Homo-oligomer: A and B are copies of this chain.
Amino acid sequence: MQHAYSGAGGQVETVLFERFRAVRARSLHLIEALSAEDCQVQSMPDVSPTKWHLAHTSWFFETFVLGECASPYRPFDASFAYLFNSYYNSVGPMHARPRRGMLTRPSLRQVLDYRRYVDAAMERAWEAIVHAGLAERVELGLQHEEQHQELILTDILHVLSCNPLLPAYRDGLPPPAAPAEQGWLQLGAGLRMIGYHGPGFAFDNEQPRHRVWLDSFEIATQPVTHADYRAFIDDGGYADPLLWLADGWALRTQEGWQRPLYWSDDNTHVFGLYGVQPIDPQAPVCHLSYYEADAYSRWAGARLPTEAEWETAMTETAALQHSGQVWEWTSSAYNAYPGFRPAAGAVGEYNGKFMCNQFVLRGGSCATPPGHARVTYRNFFPPAARWQFSGLRLARDA
């Protein structure tokens, strides 16, 4: 992580504290319409219960801020170190991920108490935290909580989709997307710099900033829309193995995929946070696996961009419209940048150990907290994942 707060004066810490309050409050805002039961269920191993997200993000502050601060801190409940550790082997053993939904105790109410307890302790210890040089760690905790805020939405959407009643997470459907003309941006060949370098926050996996050579290429001004994708379906895209990666074709066959996740069988409606709604032709297609995004791009006579192309285009043109509506699959396998060093200490397990069997997505989605993503931000998921808000943007050789 970059040291945005190192050596900073009191004003910066005040801003950080306000941000701490705002981010923590936002998590609670997200669950206002959910019942204790909604927050309990784990609908598949990839999904975590809302309650678990709420507790884990508090555990993060407890473990990596309060626990490393000189100020004495007494944990809310000693068992939570085990229950709400996600995957940090260096701080101890943990409850098995696929069994998070078994934890009916502590209750949601107790987890909310836990949050208040941690928040109060953070407030009391604030000066000591700053003094101990843990301001950046607090920022990491907030970035971490923002990532879980997106997961709260993706995961509860999956949970609700498993109920035949298909209940809506919230009301107030926004207006349909405005039509936008599809075009191509051209970028010339050359050495570029990608990755983060600067005073603000960035994850270790976005660094170090480094050189890459790019051949000339073109990239679409818009993400692929529902209408575009419907044409792929209607043209038999799900029935032609020559369009698909071998692993994707095998998975499509095994799972019987005929359309994106959450679409109705007649391809007219889609289930989302606002319940079942008619498909908006102009809106970006969403809930695609990498395999579907890749097959679509091949059918369209194009390809997915690499993450270096994506970042370069976004940096140099600022003309990639509608970015931030859906995460955009890139053709780049998630790996270490040249010279990558995991963050020091236990948080070094945050990103590096997942650099295998995943692809990078760029941009951000409607579920991403405002201000969270960056042009250098690297999201990553396995190619089979569909429950994220994932779509695509086309690229092609110049």
Residue positions of A touching B, CB distance < 8 A = 35-41, 43, 51, 79, 82-83, 87, 89-90, 95, 99, 101-105, 107-108, 159-160, 162-165, 167, 191, 210-215, 241-242, 244-249, 290-291, 294, 303, 331-333, 335-336, 338-339, 349, 353-357, 383, 397
A354 touches B191 (CB 8 A): no
A353 touches B162 (CB 8 A): no
Chain B residue nearest to A294 in the complex (CB): B356
B242 touches A89 (CB 8 A): yes
Q: Please measure, in the bound complex, the distance between the C-alpha atom of A311 and the C-alpha atom of B334, giving whole angstroms.
A: 21
**CB neighbours of A356 from chain B (8 A):** 245-248, 290-291, 294, 383
21 contacts between A and B (CB under 8 A): A35-B36, A35-B107, A37-B37, A37-B104, A37-B108, A38-B104, A41-B104, A104-B159, A105-B160, A210-B213, A210-B215, A245-B353, A245-B355, A246-B356, A247-B354, A247-B357, A332-B335, A333-B333, A333-B335, A339-B397, A356-B383
B164 touches A104 (CB 8 A): no
B105 touches A242 (CB 8 A): no
Shortest beta-carbon distance, A152 to chain B, in Å?
A: 14
Q: Please measure, in the bound complex, the distance between the C-alpha atom of A51 and the C-alpha atom of B163, giving whole angstroms.
A: 15
| Oligomer: number of copies | 4
**CB neighbours of A246 from chain B (8 A):** 87, 353-354, 356
Q: Which 4 A-B pairs have the closest CB atoms?
A: A333-B333, A102-B162, A37-B104, A89-B241
Shortest beta-carbon distance, A262 to chain B, in Å?
A: 15
Q: Please measure, in the bound complex, the distance between the C-alpha atom of A333 and the C-alpha atom of B247, giving whole angstroms.
A: 15
Q: Please measure, in the bound complex, the distance between the C-alpha atom of A40 and the C-alpha atom of B210, giving whole angstroms.
A: 50
Q: Please measure, in the bound complex, the distance between the C-alpha atom of A82 and the C-alpha atom of B102, giving whole angstroms.
A: 25
Contacting A213 at CB < 8 Å: which of B164, B165, B212, B245? Answer: B212
Q: Please measure, in the bound complex, the distance between the C-alpha atom of A252 and the C-alpha atom of B103, giving whole angstroms.
A: 27
**CB neighbours of A211 from chain B (8 A):** 213, 215
Give the interface centre of A87, A210, A338, A356 by most chain B CB atoms within 10 Å: A356
B163 touches A104 (CB 8 A): yes
Q: Please measure, in the bound complex, the distance between the C-alpha atom of A249 and the C-alpha atom of B331, giving whole angstroms.
A: 25
B164 touches A95 (CB 8 A): yes
Q: Please measure, in the bound complex, the distance between the C-alpha atom of A61 and the C-alpha atom of B211, giving whole angstroms.
A: 45
Other A-B pairs beyond A37-B39, A245-B356, 19, CB < 8 Å = A36-B37, A36-B40, A37-B51, A37-B107, A37-B108, A38-B105, A41-B101, A82-B164, A83-B164, A101-B101, A102-B159, A103-B163, A104-B159, A191-B191, A211-B213, A248-B356, A291-B356, A331-B335, A331-B336
Chain B residue nearest to A44 in the complex (CB): B102
B338 touches A215 (CB 8 A): yes
Contacting A37 at CB < 8 Å: which of B40, B160, B212? Answer: B40
**CB neighbours of A164 from chain B (8 A):** 79, 82-83, 95
Q: Please measure, in the bound complex, the distance between the C-alpha atom of A104 and the C-alpha atom of B225, giving whole angstroms.
A: 32
Given contacts A210-B215, A356-B248, A357-B247, contact A242 B163 (CB under 8 A): no
Q: Please measure, in the bound complex, the distance between the C-alpha atom of A338 and the C-alpha atom of B304, giving whole angstroms.
A: 12
Chain B residue nearest to A398 in the complex (CB): B339
Give the interface centre of A105, A210, A291, A397 by most chain B CB atoms within 10 Å: A105
**CB neighbours of A102 from chain B (8 A):** 41, 43, 159, 162-163
B383 touches A165 (CB 8 A): no
**CB neighbours of A43 from chain B (8 A):** 102
